[in-house]
């Protein structure tokens, strides 16, 4: 079936620390994964994506890791800032392009 | 920077009434989507649309729902007879490409409240 999930509903970190948000997916045929950030009252905002032929992809302060063996995806945010406070969703795309979202992890950044 | 826009930002309606949610996708995008998010829950796919027809729809997207691209800029979601459980945030999204080239840009959403 289709299922994308996150391990923790809430993650609280100190400003300046690194954050790691995890996601498990169940469909071994999934080949494209995306992380979205959703701030209060706004729509999901694309952060970074990764295809199944890659293990790691880096962006500005963010890194996504993909472990296909255990069907695990993670988002690492370096030097977390107050502006990073939001709900983070992992999502996978099907072969029709629809996004299947996980439940979301709320990241709280303490000053 | 181009963005997806949605109107209204908040719609309140009585159960059984029809509502139309409106979206203006990014102008050079060809693929359009509607998602919804019930308060505190994950975002759920409703429907995808390409070349003036539905590409895929979810189980949620029953006969009460319809989509239309009435002109070259708007993309609408109609709910014919709203139910209490239709209360949610509705997000429109668009992308340049479809499967395999699929960064979807989301609008700010319309909050639908059914009383």
Sign for the pseudo-dihedral over CA of B23, B29, B34, B35: negative
Selecting from A49, A95, A103 the residue whose C-beta is nearest the C-beta of B103 gives: A49
Q: Give the pLDDT band (50/70/90) at residue B16.
A: very high
Q: Chain B contact for A24, CB < 8 A?
A: no
Count of A–B CB contacts within 8 Å?
66
Q: Which residue of B has its CA nearest to A4?
A: B42
Residue A22 in contact with residue A72, Cβ under 8 Å?
A: yes
- Average pLDDT over all residues of chain A: 89
Q: Look at residue A62 in the predicted model and tell me its pLDDT.
A: 97
Helix (H, G, I), strand (E, B) or coil at A62: strand
- Condensed to tens digits (0 to 9), the pLDDT of residues A4-51 reads 555 578 999 999 999 999 998 877 888 889 999 999 888 999 999 999
- Which stretch, A101-105, B16-20, B28-32, has highest mean pLDDT? B16-20
- Set of chain B residues whose Cβ sits within 8 Å of the Cβ of A103: 41-42
Nearest 5°: phi and psi at B12? -110, 130
* B31, B39, B55, B104, best to mutate vs chain A, most A CBs in 10 Å: B104
Query: Model confidence over B100-114: pLDDT tens digits?
Result: 667 899 999 999 999
B72 and chain A in contact, CB less than 8 A: no
- The pLDDT score that the predictor gives to residue A40 is 87
**C-beta separation of A60 from A52 below 8 A:** no
Residue B40 confidence (pLDDT) above 80: yes
CB proximity under 8 Å: A 91-110 to B: 91, 93-104
Residue A1 in this model has a pLDDT that exceeds 60? no
Q: B45 and chain A: CB distance < 8 Å anywhere?
A: yes
Model pLDDT for residues B50-105, shown as the tens digit of each residue: 999 999 999 999 999 999 998 889 999 999 999 999 999 999 999 998 776 678 99
Residue A2 confidence (pLDDT): 45
A53-89 pLDDT, tens digit each: 999 999 999 999 999 999 999 999 999 999 999 999 9
Tell which residue, A39, A66, A36, A32, has the closest CA to residue A48: A36
Q: Considering only CB atoms, which chain B residues are within 8 Å of A95? A: 99
């Amino acid at each position: 079936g289709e299922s994308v999930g996150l391990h923790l509903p809430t993650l609280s970190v100190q400003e300046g620390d690194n954050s790691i948000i995890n996601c498990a997916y169940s469909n071994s045929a999934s080949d494209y994964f995306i992380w979205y950030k959703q701030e209060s009252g706004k729509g999901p905002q694309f952060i970074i994506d990764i295809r199944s032929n890659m293990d790691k992809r880096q962006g500005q302060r963010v890194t996504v890791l993909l472990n296909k063996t255990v069907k695990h995806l993670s988002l690492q945010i370096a030097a977390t800032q107050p502006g990073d406070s939001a709900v983070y969703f992992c999502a996978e795309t099907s072969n029709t392009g629809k996004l299947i979202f996980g439940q979301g992890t709320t990241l709280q950044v303490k000053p | 920077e181009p963005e997806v826009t949605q109107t209204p930002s908040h719609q309140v309606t009585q159960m059984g009434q029809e509502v139309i949610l409106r979206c203006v996708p990014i102008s050079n995008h060809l693929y359009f989507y509607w998602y919804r998010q019930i308060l505190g829950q994950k975002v759920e796919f409703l429907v995808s649309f390409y070349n003036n027809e539905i590409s895929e729809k979810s189980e949620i997207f029953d006969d009460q729902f319809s989509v239309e691209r009435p002109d070259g800029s708007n993309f609408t979601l109609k709910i014919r007879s709203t139910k209490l459980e239709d209360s949610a945030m509705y997000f429109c999204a668009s992308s340049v490409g479809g499967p395999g080239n699929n960064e979807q840009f989301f609008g700010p959403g319309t909050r639908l409240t059914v009383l």
